[in-house]
């Protein structure tokens, strides 16, 4: 049975110093050659990141609300930028909140900050991760699309800080914006997947026709 092998063991500080950008060890563990440069869209076949966790599972401690990104298992993920599920359109917004000179014309209010946090979490990578748990779906399957929408929205809310998740429940306008962003992302990605599938089928059909002609 294949299982994850530790990349680093030590104190929390030592583990946090471990670099998250490295070439995947999976091909070697499977006895396969490394992917050639460029095969995965980049020079290296990079791992998604690392999971930092205690050597022994801590005792579970229940907390009020039971939601938010805090892990009751005492572990957390550190991902490289390419696989990040959170992406800000403007990375200077935190400095703007603090009143940094020349960064923002005004400090954003709490609703604006909530919008920024929510929008940063509606990403292609997050949708891909949600789909990895449910499997591929067809845009024609309305019930599957509704389930995907619910799963994506729940994943976004779970990733919010507890106070932001609570604030979202009090802001129906921002909640409606979250719904619209998730719908737009799902529609765009499913249409792109359908185009890729159609192109692959067309290419396979052309290759088969060429093979038939060559053999006739």
- State the pLDDT at residue 69: 47
200-216 residue pLDDT tens: 777 766 776 766 666 65
pLDDT at 68: 45
Q: Give pLDDT tens digits along the chain (216 positions).
A: 777 888 889 988 888 888 888 888 888 888 888 877 766 566 777 887 888 888 887 665 555 555 444 445 567 777 776 666 676 655 555 555 555 544 555 556 789 999 999 999 999 889 988 998 888 888 889 999 999 999 999 999 998 989 999 999 999 999 999 999 999 999 999 998 888 878 777 776 677 676 666 665
Tens-digit pLDDT profile for residues 35-78? 777 665 667 778 878 888 888 876 655 555 554 444 455 677 77
Q: What count of Cα atoms within 13 Å lies in the side-chain half-sphere of residue 167? A: 16
The predicted structure's pLDDT at residue 90: 55
């Amino acid at each position: 049975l294949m299982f994850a092998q530790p990349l680093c063991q030590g104190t929390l500080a030592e583990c946090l110093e471990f670099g998250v950008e490295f070439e995947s060890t999976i091909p070697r563990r499977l006895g396969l050659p490394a992917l050639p440069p460029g095969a995965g869209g980049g020079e290296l076949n990079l791992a998604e990141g690392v999971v930092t966790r205690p050597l022994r599972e801590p005792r579970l401690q229940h907390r009020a609300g039971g939601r938010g990104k805090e892990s009751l298992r005492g572990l957390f993920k550190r991902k490289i930028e390419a696989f990040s599920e959170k992406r800000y359109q403007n990375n200077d917004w935190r400095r703007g909140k603090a009143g940094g000179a020349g960064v923002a014309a005004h400090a954003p209010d709490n609703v604006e900050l909530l919008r920024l946090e929510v929008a940063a979490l509606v990403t292609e990578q997050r949708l891909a991760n949600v789909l990895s748990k449910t499997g591929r779906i067809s845009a024609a399957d309305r019930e599957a699309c509704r389930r995907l929408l619910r799963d994506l929205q729940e994943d976004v809310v779970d990733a919010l800080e507890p106070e932001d998740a609570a604030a979202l429940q009090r802001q129906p306008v921002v909640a409606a914006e979250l719904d619209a962003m998730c719908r737009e992302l799902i529609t765009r990605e499913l249409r792109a997947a359908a185009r890729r599938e159609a192109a692959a089928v067309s290419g396979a059909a052309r290759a088969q026709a060429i093979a038939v002609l060559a053999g006739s």
